[in-house]
């Protein structure tokens, strides 16, 4: 089920991205030869005007074929030059290339807005309106900790904490932390809930997680459901989307800097296999969490696509900038070679990350 949900999420996000390119090209008067949902072989095709619309068998997103998108592979006739992307201004070309990224971010904003309208899990400290059903929720599980070796996962609601005959009456991050410290050499029983299921984990706190005290390795916050009116939902979602985009950009930037310093770790990134596992965890928490996770992935795709790296939209925009500065097009052989190398590096990175994710499963 997790794999199916992941495929649906990925397909929708790729389709949204390609829709951005499609609409921007149409808006700029560029000829779009085909807009496809999924990938061939084709199940259904219909030509309307100059564009063929298709529904295809392989359901991984979609694609758009734009006249002159790859000028080195196309023989554009004199009659079609005015409708070809390569003969448009570099600003228009950059706009078409960036439109996919814009649509991914806008889609994330829409999903988060719908989340706020429906009722989005929100820390009580960040709430703008009254919070319904506040609960103590696990927000973080520290790797190689007692909690990491138990059934406890981020998003779990803590129902009770006890040790022998001693049971905690008030559940807050501070009271739980104090209780664990007071019973640091005893077994701690944590009852937690996820997706309608209740679990019981027995843990022994250990040193080294928090300086000077014993801990089980969880971060906690009081989280409830915040439901906002439409106008406020869109406003708060816009702020959340901007902050999320900045945070993801900083995180990816840090990884790149660390990689150049030789300090980058594969544990900092997650591939398709790892994301499938995350989808499984998130889907157990409920639809709203899946909605939020989809928004998170959509912003990730947007930020990654804007990196000035060959074969990505950002790399192609960088090529346009270089052409504008030098005043002439980049030689076809050079652009082909650079994009080919960039694509190969991306595929190699994906393979390495996937292998790393698989190894972590065992």
Same domain flag for 86 and 49:
yes
pLDDT at 24 over 90: yes
Same domain flag for 310 and 204:
no
The answer to whether 147 touches 218, Cβ cutoff 8 Å, is yes
Same domain flag for 63 and 144:
no
Does residue 247 belong to any structural domain of this protein? no
Does residue 141 belong to any structural domain of this protein? yes
Same domain flag for 61 and 106:
yes
pTM above 0.85, yes or no: no
Dist CA 300 CA 297 (whole Å): 5
84-87-90-92 Cα dihedral, nearest 10 degrees? -40
CB atoms within 10 A of CB 229: 11
Cα distances (angstroms) measured from residue 246 to each of 102, 118, 215: 14, 25, 32
Chosen domain end from 187, 209, 226: 226
Same domain flag for 157 and 186:
yes
pLDDT tens digits for 194-237? 888 899 999 999 988 888 788 999 999 999 998 999 999 999 99
CA–chain centroid gap for 67, Å, is: 30
pLDDT at 175 over 90: yes
| Domain extent at residue 138 | 132-226
More confident residue, 323 or 60: 323
Q: What is the mean pLDDT of residues 331-335?
A: 85
Same domain flag for 22 and 81:
yes
Same domain flag for 32 and 57:
yes
Same domain flag for 70 and 23:
yes
Does residue 84 belong to any structural domain of this protein? yes
Residue at token pair 């981020």: 154
Same domain flag for 88 and 138:
no
pLDDT tens digits for 252-271? 888 888 878 777 676 667 77
When divided into structural domains, the chain yields a total of: 2
Q: What is the CATH number of the domain that holds 153?
A: 2.30.42.10
Cα distances (angstroms) measured from residue 15 to each of 19, 100, 192, 324: 6, 9, 38, 30
Same domain flag for 171 and 211:
yes
pLDDT tens digits for 81-115? 788 898 899 999 999 999 999 999 999 999 999 99
Dist CA 19 CA 63 (whole Å): 8
User: Residue 295 is encoded by which pair of tokens?
Assistant: 């928004």
Does residue 271 belong to any structural domain of this protein? no
Chosen domain end from 192, 226, 260: 226
Does residue 155 belong to any structural domain of this protein? yes
Same domain flag for 81 and 107:
yes
Chosen domain end from 226, 260, 280: 226
Of the chain, the end-to-end C-alpha distance in Å amounts to 20
Please give the backbone phi and psi of residue 90, each rounded to the nearest 5 degrees, phi first: -65, -30
User: Residue 6 is encoded by which pair of tokens?
Assistant: 């992941």
Decide: residue 211, CB within 10 A, 0-12 exposed, 13-18 middle, 19+ buried.
exposed
The answer to whether 175 touches 168, Cβ cutoff 8 Å, is yes
């Amino acid at each position: 089920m997790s794999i199916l949900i992941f495929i649906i999420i990925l397909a929708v996000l790729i389709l949204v991205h390609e829709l951005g390119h499609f609409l921007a090209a149409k808006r700029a008067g560029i000829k779009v030869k085909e807009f496809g949902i999924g990938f061939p072989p084709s199940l259904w095709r219909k030509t309307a005007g100059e564009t063929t619309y298709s529904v295809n068998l392989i359901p991984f997103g979609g694609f758009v074929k734009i006249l002159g998108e790859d000028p080195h592979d196309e023989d554009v006739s004199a009659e079609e030059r005015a409708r070809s992307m390569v003969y448009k201004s570099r600003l228009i070309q950059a706009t078409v290339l960036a439109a996919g990224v814009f649509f991914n971010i806008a889609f994330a904003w829409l999903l988060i807005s719908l989340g706020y309208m429906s009722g989005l899990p929100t820390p009580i400290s960040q709430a703008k309106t009254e919070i319904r059903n506040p609960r103590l929720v696990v927000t973080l599980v520290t790797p190689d900790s007692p909690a990491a070796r138990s059934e406890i996962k981020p998003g779990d609601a803590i129902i009770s904490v006890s040790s022998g005959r001693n049971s905690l009456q008030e559940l807050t991050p501070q009271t739980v932390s104090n209780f664990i410290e007071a019973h640091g050499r005893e077994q701690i029983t944590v009852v937690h809930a996820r997706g309608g299921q209740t679990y019981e984990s027995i843990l022994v706190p250990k040193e080294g997680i928090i300086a000077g005290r014993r801990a089980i390795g969880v971060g906690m916050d009081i989280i409830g459901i915040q439901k906002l009116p439409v106008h406020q939902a869109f406003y708060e979602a816009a702020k959340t989307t901007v902050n999320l985009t900045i945070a993801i950009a900083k995180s990816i930037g840090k990884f790149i800097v660390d990689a150049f310093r030789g300090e980058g770790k594969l544990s900092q990134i997650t591939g398709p296999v790892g994301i499938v596992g995350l989808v499984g965890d998130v889907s157990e928490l409920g639809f709203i969490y899946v909605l939020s996770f989809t928004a998170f992935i959509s912003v990730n795709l947007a930020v990654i696509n804007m990196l000035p790296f060959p074969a990505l939209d950002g790399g192609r925009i960088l090529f346009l900038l270089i052409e504008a500065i030098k005043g002439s097009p980049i030689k076809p052989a050079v652009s082909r070679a650079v994009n080919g190398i960039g694509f190969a590096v991306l595929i190699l990175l994906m393979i390495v990350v996937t292998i790393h994710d698989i190894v972590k499963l065992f």
